[in-house]
Amino acid sequence: MTDNAFKALSNLAALSRSSAKGLPSQRDVAPRWSGVGFSCMGYRFVIPMGQVTELMEVPPSTRLPSVQRWVIGLSNVRGRLLPLFDLAKFVGGQIGNQKKTQRVLVLENDNLYSGLVVDRAYGMQHFVSDTYDKYSEELPDGLAKYTTGSYRDASAEIWGVFDLDLLANDDEFLNAAII
Query: Residue 136: its pLDDT value, please?
Result: 65
Report the predicted TM-score, pTM, of the whole model to 2 decimal places. 0.79
Q: Mind listing the pLDDT tens digit for each residue in 21-40?
A: 777 666 667 788 999 999 99
Residues ≥6 apart with Cβ < 8 Å to 147: 45, 136, 139, 160, 161, 162, 163
pLDDT of residue 90 exceeding 60, the answer is: yes
| Alpha-carbon 160 to chain mean position | 11
Query: Residue 76: its pLDDT value, please?
Result: 95
Residues ≥6 apart with Cβ < 8 Å to 46: 35, 36, 37, 38, 125, 127, 151, 159, 160, 161, 162
Domains of the chain: residue spans and CATH: 32-174 (2.40.50.180)
Query: Residue 109: its pLDDT value, please?
Result: 82
